[in-house]
Amino acid sequence: MPVIHPEILRNIPLFQLLDDQEAALLCQHLDEKHYLAGQRIFSAGDPGGTMYLVESGQVELFVTDKNDERVHLAYVDKGELFGDLSLLDNERRSASAQAVENSTVFIVDRHDLEMLVESHPHAALDMMAMLGKRIRETDILLRNRVVSRNVNEEMQSSRNFGERLSDFLTMLAGDIRFVYASLMWFGVWIVWNAGLIPGLQPFDPNPYGLLTMVVSLEAIFLSLFVLISQNRQAAREKVRNDIEYEVNIKAELEIRELRQQIEELQQLMLAHLAQMSSVLDTTRSTNNVPVVKSD
């Protein structure tokens, strides 16, 4: 296990108030690990039980939603911690962490945390403050994040009683069974009032004035309900157009982000290859191994 100098530990705000003895004691228990830019530190669902303190570099925290889309949560800079939630509840990781640049982190387990809190209770408050900051950033992200919406659910939730009634009657009148029922009703009405059924006294004789009034009222109200439904359809189309616009903007942003990630990945690979080549050349020079060049 590499030895961590106490002064390096004091550069982290969580350990600034430790005295020499306490810092030296904690340094003996902490593990130090290095990650290359783009290297995954842990993934969501991995076992927890430890947290990380960034000594140098930068780490990105993110999750993957149900649509397999990467949702950025926060950047963890030098002196900040991450993975603390999994350390506190000892559950599996709820998010993933990836090094944005070459980073060095200190690994703190539960025993180290207990020793730190026993010697300096204020460290627990500092850790809670950082955890609260992370939760606030996540709340802001969730409030401002643009997600896909269902136009039918949007319109269903905003309907009042009159709109629900107009939708129901328009749906009822647009069904072929309503036409059959109307034909049967008109037929029975006319046959009854034409005196064709023995024993039944006509109540609306020819020219069927009551039937004409009922049909006119029915046509008027159905026309009004159809107009109301058409207005709702226009509002539904507006919501659909807004959702399509949001989806197009989101897709364009994701394409730009994907392109940027590919370019960054290419630069990282070239940098790592150059670093490996430099180390190899240094090793060869140290061992006096001649470099063979091809024509």
Q: Are 40 and 15 in contact (CB under 8 A)?
A: no
Q: Are 32 and 63 in contact (CB under 8 A)?
A: no
pLDDT score at 16: 65
Q: What is the mean pLDDT of residues 210-236?
A: 83
Q: What is the mean pLDDT of residues 262-270?
A: 71
Residue with the larger pLDDT of the pair 243 and 92: 92
| Mean pLDDT estimate for the chain | 76
- Structurally, what CATH architecture does the domain formed by 6-144 represent? Sandwich (2.60)
Residues paired with 98 in a beta bridge = 40, 60
Residues 119-144 pLDDT 10s:
767 666 666 666 666 667 666 665 55
Residue 49 confidence class, pLDDT cut points 50, 70, 90: confident
**In the predicted structure, residue 268 carries a pLDDT above the cut 90:** no
Length of the chain: 295
Q: Are 102 and 57 in contact (CB under 8 A)?
A: yes
Q: Are 30 and 39 in contact (CB under 8 A)?
A: no
pLDDT score at 295: 46
Residue (of 12, 32, 41, 141) closest to 101 by Cα position: 41
**In the predicted structure, residue 244 carries a pLDDT above the cut 80:** no
Residue with the larger pLDDT of the pair 183 and 121: 183
Q: Which range, 29-38, 230-239, 257-266, is most confident?
A: 29-38
Max CA distance (Å), the chain? 125
Q: Are 36 and 76 in contact (CB under 8 A)?
A: no
Residue spans of the domains in the chain: they are: 6-144, 151-283
**In the predicted structure, residue 46 carries a pLDDT above the cut 50:** yes
Q: Are 43 and 96 in contact (CB under 8 A)?
A: yes
Identify the sign of the CA torsion 64, 65, 71, 75. negative
What's the chain's Rg over C-alpha atoms? 36
**In the predicted structure, residue 63 carries a pLDDT above the cut 90:** no
